[in-house]
Amino acid sequence: MNTNELVTKHDIEQLAEIVLRLERKLESMGHPKPFLTGREVKELLNISEGKLQSLRISGELKASKVQGTYLYTLADIMDMINRNRK
């Protein structure tokens, strides 16, 4: 195992924080919408526009473009998070 594969306490805390934010967001939405906008994803994951674009371009996070707006599913966001868990 190399140092790029080690999971730190900080990594776990960050993941826990993301999961909590996802849960809170879902609770506040009552019934989750089928798609989230880029703004909602950035807020949910606490990432910048550039990071979101990077995730989308690399294929790490799937997106659909509808009338110039990228839309994301919660399932795809959770898949990305789970794939990156070590």
How many domains is the chain built from? 1
Q: Is the pLDDT of residue 17 over 90?
A: no
Angle between helices 9-29 and 38-45 (to 10 degrees): 130
CATH code of the domain in which 35 resides: 1.10.10
Q: Is the pLDDT of residue 60 over 50?
A: yes
Please state, for a pLDDT cut of 70, what percent of the chain lies above it: 90
pTM: 0.64
Query: Between the ranges 13-17, 22-26, 63-67, 80-84, where is the mean pLDDT highest?
Result: 63-67
Please spell the DSSP secondary structure of 49-83, one letter per residue. HHHHHHHHHHTSS--EEETTEEEE-HHHHHHHHHH
Structural domain of 58: 3-83
Please state, for a pLDDT cut of 90, what percent of the chain lies above it: 36
- Return the pLDDT at 3: 57
- Return the pLDDT at 1: 47
